Amino acid sequence: MTDAQNWVPSSPLTIQAIETEALRIPLNKVYRGSKYSMQNRCTIITRILTKQGVVGEVYTGDTDEEQDVILSIIHKELAPVLIGMDVFNTEGCWEAMKPATYDILRDRGVVMQAISAVDTAIWDTVGKALNMPMYRLWGGYTNRLPMIAIGGYYGQNFDELAHEVSSYIDYGVVGMKFKIGGATPEEDLERLKIARQVGGEKFTLMVDANQGYDLQQAIRFCRLAENAGIELYWFEEPVRWYNDKRWLRDVRLSTGVPITAGQSEYRIDGVRDLIIGDSIDYCNFDTSWGGGPTMWRRVASICSAFGIKMAHHEEAQISAHLLGSVAHGTFVECFHRDRDPFFWDIQTEARPLKDGYYTISDKPGFGIELDRAYVAKYKVR
């Protein structure tokens, strides 16, 4: 028997080492949102090795330019304070990593991404040790979630846009989150009409401006969509960052369209302010940006107390377990295979999507089994 087979839950599970692999895939085109663009899909594999032989392994995070900085933080700052700790002391492990955020001369958001990767791998180790999938360990509310696609990027003509939406129907998703905010509300509405025409009336439509509009533009878009008979399930990050909490509230209360935000918050107090400011109906706090599952679950608890439903910004291989563990979870998100090859191809099993629903793996931890040949092909460090 191996040490892992000999380990019993009443004993500590001691962190011996933390390993990482950074991956990058050049995409076939530039993907443009309202005010940003990207041409690479990136991720970091984080591996927790324990003295008892239990290994946790996840992939998470899509940062490109900051990838080297994140890896350095993991190995030089986080690993040294975690080695020797018990992975079941998840709160203690998170607190041990927290001092890395105290440096005021660097971007705390990047530090939080490093903590997110390690925290996620720690939880995977816990699940592997207990032989339980994470969604069940955290609450087990459901193992099936409706899935939406993220798309509608700029740079496509109407025929190309129609083809993209048609491909999502072929995937079997229940709807899509459509990118707006990079043109006028009138121009964006014409683009959105394509999605409604191709998807049909039962195809759920959310819109995401990525903070691209000002207040009046956001309100005008909602009015235009209403007049066109297009129901918006939610409007995500409709307004610009510098007055977003008040403007999110204003869009929400003046239009009646449900508002989603939280992915740009990497601090729990930022989410708190969104809630108490009456700014959101849905919170899509991102576990890969905001400190890992430990922090996401705290955010979910706060949102539950205020009647705010939980969403999540992409990362379906992780977010599905979080969303499925709570009663107020909503949609799990994916991209087109061309936009996110990792989600569709890095694991040895096909993605379990049928009739619009994603079925969460019942394998231990996050149920991630990586294709090693695929990893080797795109590993950059």
Q: What is the pLDDT of residues 367-379, one digit of tens each?
A: 999 999 999 999 9
* pLDDT tens-digit readout, 64-118: 999 999 999 999 999 999 999 999 999 999 999 999 999 999 999 999 999 999 9
Task: Identify whether residues 286 and 228 lie together within a single domain.
Answer: yes
Domain ends where: 132, 157, 184?
Answer: 132
Task: Identify whether residues 96 and 181 lie together within a single domain.
Answer: no
Arithmetic mean of pLDDT, 138-164: 97
Measured between alpha carbons, how far is 231 from 73 in angstroms, rounded to an integer? 44
pTM of the model: 0.96
Measured between alpha carbons, how far is 174 from 146 in angstroms, rounded to an integer? 7
Task: Identify whether residues 109 and 141 lie together within a single domain.
Answer: no
Task: Identify whether residues 317 and 206 lie together within a single domain.
Answer: yes
Is 371 a domain residue? no
Residue 165 belongs to a domain with what CATH number?
3.20.20.120
Is 294 a domain residue? yes
Arithmetic mean of pLDDT, 228-255: 97
C-alpha 234: how far from chain center: 17
| pLDDT value, residue 351 | 80
Task: Identify whether residues 142 and 126 lie together within a single domain.
Answer: no
Higher pLDDT, 350 or 1: 350
Is 207 a domain residue? yes
Contact indicator for 254, 279 with CB cutoff of 8 Å: no
Task: Identify whether residues 193 and 260 lie together within a single domain.
Answer: yes
Provide the pLDDT confidence category of residue 4 given band limits of 50, 70 and 90. low
| pLDDT value, residue 352 | 81
* Number of structural domains found in the chain: 2
| pLDDT value, residue 256 | 97
Where does residue 331 rank: exposed (0-12), middle (13-18), buried (19+ CB within 10 A)? buried
The overall average pLDDT reported for the chain is: 96
Q: Where are the alpha helices (DSSP H) in the chain?
A: 3-6, 67-73, 79-82, 90-97, 108-130, 134-137, 158-171, 185-199, 215-227, 244-255, 268-276, 293-305, 316-324, 341-345, 372-378
Q: Which of 216, 217, 215 is nearest to 188 (CA)?
A: 217
Arithmetic mean of pLDDT, 244-251: 97
Task: Identify whether residues 49 and 89 lie together within a single domain.
Answer: yes
Domain ends where: 99, 115, 132?
Answer: 132
Please give the DSSP secondary-structure letter assigned to residue 121.
H
Q: Is the pLDDT of residue 1 over 60?
A: no
Contact indicator for 296, 324 with CB cutoff of 8 Å: no
Q: Which domain holds residue 107?
A: 3-132
Q: Is the pLDDT of residue 295 over 90?
A: yes
Task: Identify whether residues 254 and 307 lie together within a single domain.
Answer: yes
Task: Identify whether residues 228 and 330 lie together within a single domain.
Answer: yes
Is 7 a domain residue? yes
C-alpha 227: how far from chain center: 32
Is 373 a domain residue? no
Task: Identify whether residues 177 and 316 lie together within a single domain.
Answer: yes
Domain ends where: 97, 132, 167?
Answer: 132
Task: Identify whether residues 226 and 347 lie together within a single domain.
Answer: yes
* pLDDT tens-digit readout, 209-220: 999 999 999 999
Is 287 a domain residue? yes
Q: Is the pLDDT of residue 6 over 90?
A: no
C-alpha 1: how far from chain center: 38
| pLDDT value, residue 11 | 80
Task: Identify whether residues 247 and 295 lie together within a single domain.
Answer: yes
Q: Which helix (H) or strand (E) holds 283?
A: strand 282-283
Q: Is the pLDDT of residue 2 over 50?
A: no
Characterize 32-62 residue by residue with b for buried, 16 or more Cβ atoms within 10 angstroms of its Cβ, and e for exposed: bbbeeeeebbbbbbbbbbbebbbbbbbbbbb
* Joined tokens for residue 351: 């993605």
